[in-house]
Structure 1
């Protein structure tokens, strides 16, 4: 039945950056679909707090510390999850460090390397550890959370006179994530491992909390065919679709969830 195709009953899912803006609706969606969700990030307290919230709602969730900038933390985390749950079915690479996010002429080498240690190296090392488990299972599903800025170049005029900008390393990381997605999909498809990417546009709750209402907000809405930012439900649907059997024949795809921003 169609309902069963979207079910994640019995699945074990890891979400990095699980206590953040995108992370919470992602974790909620997977839990609501039936998965046991491991909410992981350096913010251990935040992860445990949100896991408790989901458990109070009757869902299966656990908050676990994970520092993507620390190779030992990645090894220990993966070992713990496999020992406790016996498998890893779904990995959502959602975490992103915004440390050192600057324009090209302002960024220091140390700042660039700090961001890359998490957004690039850490993501690769975690995927490497998890995919070994998935390969032994002959099943796995990896979903990378990209951005519209990994599909089109930044539209700098949209920021107007706000003083805001789009940092170089964010664009660099998100374009790389799409290529990483396709490489994983093509190389590991023979082991029944799928890999897809979701590239969201502007996320309303995050925008509202970070910057409130300004020229950027009105410009962004005006240039988006649907005329608004994404909300939690706009993220939850695509996650469950790509994590479930409903998308069993889809791999190597970058799903744009952007209200039409990139369609011009």
Structure 2
């Protein structure tokens, strides 16, 4: 493992981790990897059946897991998650804001049908609700439980597509596809990461944004570079930071990315 990761297979014993969008894709793999490190993982997903199935599979493998139905855009679900965590654990150690959507085109390998100046308002608004506003409000709701942790960690799963430096650089691999909804929602998520990290700088909570890489999921497409296991690595790395790990940054593995 690299220098920002935990080193023991049971390094997260006694820790509680909640992963939004945890029933499929990168989120499901993050759940598996955190549970393998000893954490009790709360699989949070809109589809209750899929969340419970994922949690059951982890328990069948001898790991600690539970499930919660969680549409991150719904206030009722956010409050229910808070109450469930309070009752079952009394704290939260790791929050992974992983849930997200891509509505600009069929997938991240497909250019949008319309230019940014013509992007449908419904696409932009719905994308921001899931990718940006939900992460803010989930974090605000669960922050009191994170403050009870002796080493709270918040990982905002962003994207290199949220980097203004990359979006404006013709040499960047993300430059050709201009997805207004997704790109701007992730840029806004990066800004939230900076502001929250600064607010919490004097606390034991570390907040970082990460780029998982271009991953072979429904969103990423079959053309992507990484399999799902590799796509979860950066999220897990920053969820398991030691005391001297970074805060308030934007990373892919050990590489610091430009905002």
Aligned length: 240
Aligned equivalents of 2:47, 2:251: Cα separation in 1: 28
Is 1:26 the counterpart of 2:30 in the alignment?
yes
Q: Write the deviation string for residues 173-223 of structure 1: whole angstroms up to 9, x where unpaired.
A: 11222222221111112121110121122113x16x9754xxxx4xx7xxx
Shift of 1:6: 7.4
Is 1:75 the counterpart of 2:79 in the alignment?
yes
User: Which structure has the larger Rg?
Assistant: 1
Is 1:144 the counterpart of 2:148 in the alignment?
no
Q: Write the deviation string for residues 33-58 of structure 1: whole angstroms up to 9, x where unpaired.
A: 10000111212211111111111111
Q: Does the 8 A contact of 2:211 with 2:251 survive in 1?
A: yes
> Over the residues paired in the alignment, what is the CA RMSD in angstroms?
3.0
Shift of 1:171: 0.6
Change (3 A) 1:231 1:248: farther
Aligned equivalents of 2:25, 2:238: Cα separation in 1: 19
Q: Write the deviation string for residues 231-261 of structure 1: whole angstroms up to 9, x where unpaired.
A: 2332344333322253643111211249x9x
Q: Which runs of 5+ in 1 are unaligned?
A: 221-228
Shift of 1:127: 0.3
Q: Which runs of 5+ in 2 are unaligned?
A: 1-5, 106-111
Change (3 A) 1:202 1:252: same
Q: Does the 8 A contact of 2:12 with 2:38 survive in 1?
A: yes
TM-score, normalised by the number of residues in structure 2 = 0.80
Q: Secondary structure at the match of 2:100?
A: coil
Aligned equivalents of 2:7, 2:60: Cα separation in 1: 24
For 1:234, the equivalent position in structure 2 comes to 230
For 2:109, the equivalent position in structure 1 comes to none
Is 1:251 the counterpart of 2:255 in the alignment?
no
For 2:108, the equivalent position in structure 1 comes to none
Q: Does the 8 A contact of 2:116 with 2:178 survive in 1?
A: no
Q: Does the 8 A contact of 1:197 with 1:255 survive in 2?
A: yes
